């Protein structure tokens, strides 16, 4: 299966003559009317795709993509989601096709003409779904620009390009407002932050992760500089790094728990009461428009004086 890279904008062939649609992503559907060509960019080369019917029965098998679909106003075309798709709340009213493990019988019963997922979360499942003759769109992002491309790509496939551009513009404006405030903080005064994404074992988000990028845009400096998105860390290393702030993005620990850890009473983040578990982890890890909110919340936590 061809996985859709974020630099690509893919138009998927859709045929609605039968209940279970059977085209692969590389085939073109037949039409009696002359289609209008749409120029797209894929891997740096110009390609031409044809107008075709839009998907009407969409199943999302990952929470982030469920958010994107609802953001684009596609509620009436979404027929299935997973138990993990908890936002927006109305997503719970859709048919459930599993959790991280997809129930293929439940999915097939919905007769989807498009299944949307993410390679890192659903790689094998997406292959299995496509092998059954169902169209698949797989997208992913670990950056703000990548999030913009997700909205554009899904917008093209679903015919919601205008809404996608509106969402992107709103994100850009929200982020620009934060950046304007953060610009008043000198580099030497920017706080070093430990992003705790897991405990026992202790894990942090570093270079290459979406959390890292959101932190940098929010004016923070990542205390972990390992060139890997997710890094297993030791408590001794945290003590040695002595971060100015700690942001907890997992349910296993609270800010109070961190303060009680052995040796942490001397860490600057604890001494100066800059440990938080109040930022919704989902807005920091899901590649959706709420990432802009995540940037704002991080910045306000680190530099509250700029937001009073």
Pairing of strands 203-205, 245-248: unpaired
Q: What is the pTM of this model?
A: 0.82
- Would you call the peptide bond into 88 cis, given omega within 30 degrees of 0 as the criterion? yes
Contact 138, 117 (CB under 8 A): yes
CA quadruple 161, 167, 173, 179: dihedral positive or negative? negative
Indicate whether 293 and 253 sit together in one domain: yes
**Rounded Cα–Cα distance for residues 93 and 85 (Å):** 11
| Domain assignment of residue 167, yes or no | no
Residue 229: both structure tokens together = 């998105």
Q: Which domain holds residue 105?
A: 37-159
User: What residues have CB less than 8 Å from 260, skipping those under 6 apart?
Assistant: none
Residue 275: both structure tokens together = 């440990």
Q: CATH number, domain at 187?
A: 3.40.50.1980
Contact 293, 178 (CB under 8 A): no
Indicate whether 154 and 195 sit together in one domain: no
The total of structural domains in the chain comes to 2
Q: Which of 102, 126, 159 is the last residue of a domain?
A: 159
Indicate whether 189 and 152 sit together in one domain: no
Indicate whether 270 and 228 sit together in one domain: yes
Indicate whether 151 and 189 sit together in one domain: no
pLDDT tens string for the chain (308 positions)? 434 433 333 333 322 222 222 333 333 333 323 223 223 333 333 333 345 589 999 999 999 999 999 999 999 999 999 999 999 999 999 999 999 899 999 999 999 999 999 998 887 899 999 999 999 999 999 999 999 999 999 999 999 999 999 999 999 999 999 999 999 999 999 999 999 999 999 999 999 999 999 999 999 999 999 888 999 999 999 999 999 999 999 999 999 999 999 999 999 999 999 999 999 999 999 999 999 999 999 999 999 999 98
Indicate whether 136 and 204 sit together in one domain: no
């Amino acid at each position: 299966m061809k996985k859709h890279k974020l630099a690509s904008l893919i138009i998927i062939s859709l045929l609605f003559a039968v209940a279970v649609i059977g085209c692969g992503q590389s085939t073109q559907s037949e039409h009696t009317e002359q289609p209008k060509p749409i120029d797209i960019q894929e891997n740096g080369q110009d390609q031409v795709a044809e107008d075709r019917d839009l998907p009407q029965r969409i199943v999302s098998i990952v929470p982030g993509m469920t958010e994107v679909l609802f953001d684009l106003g596609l509620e009436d075309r979404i027929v299935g989601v997973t138990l993990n798709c908890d936002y927006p709340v109305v997503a719970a009213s859709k048919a459930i096709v599993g959790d991280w493990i997809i129930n293929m019988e439940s999915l097939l019963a919905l007769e989807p003409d498009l299944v949307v997922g993410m390679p890192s979360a659903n790689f094998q499942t997406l292959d299995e779904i496509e092998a059954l003759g169902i169209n698949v769109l797989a997208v992913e992002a670990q950056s703000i620009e990548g999030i913009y491309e997700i909205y554009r790509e899904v917008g093209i496939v679903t015919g919601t390009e205008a809404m996608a551009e509106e969402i992107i513009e709103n994100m850009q404006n929200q982020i620009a407002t934060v950046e304007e405030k953060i610009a008043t903080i000198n580099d030497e005064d920017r706080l070093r932050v430990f992003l705790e994404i897991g405990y026992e074992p202790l894990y942090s988000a570093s270079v290459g992760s979406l959390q890292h990028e959101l932190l940098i845009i929010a004016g923070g400096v990542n205390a972990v500089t390992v060139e890997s998105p997710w890094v297993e860390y030791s408590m001794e290393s945290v003590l040695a790094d002595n971060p100015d702030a700690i942001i907890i993005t997992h349910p296993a620990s609270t800010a109070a728990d961190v303060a009680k850890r052995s040796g942490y009473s001397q860490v600057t983040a604890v001494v100066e009461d800059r440990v938080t578990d109040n930022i919704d982890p989902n807005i920091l890890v899901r590649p959706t428009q709420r990432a802009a909110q995540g940037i704002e919340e991080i910045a306000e936590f680190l530099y509250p004086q700029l937001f009073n």
